[in-house]
Amino acid sequence: MTNTPSQQAHRTLCEQRDKEFLALYNPTLDALLKQGMNMSKARSTAAEFTIANGHPHYHVEHERAYRCVCHLLKANEKKGAGARDYGNKEIDLAENRLRRKMWEEITGHVRFLSGQGMSVDQAIDHVLEHCRASRFFITPATALTRICPKSRSRALR
Per-domain residue ranges for the chain?
Answer: 1-57+134-151, 60-131
pLDDT tens figures, 121-145? 999 999 999 999 999 999 998 899 8
pLDDT tens figures, 84-112? 444 555 555 444 788 899 999 999 999 99
Distance (Å, rounded) from C-alpha 1 to C-alpha 34? Answer: 45
Integer-rounded Cα radius of gyration of the chain: 18
CA distances from 115 to 76, 81, 132 (A): 15, 19, 19
Distance (Å, rounded) from C-alpha 66 to C-alpha 55? Answer: 22
pTM above 0.85, yes or no: no
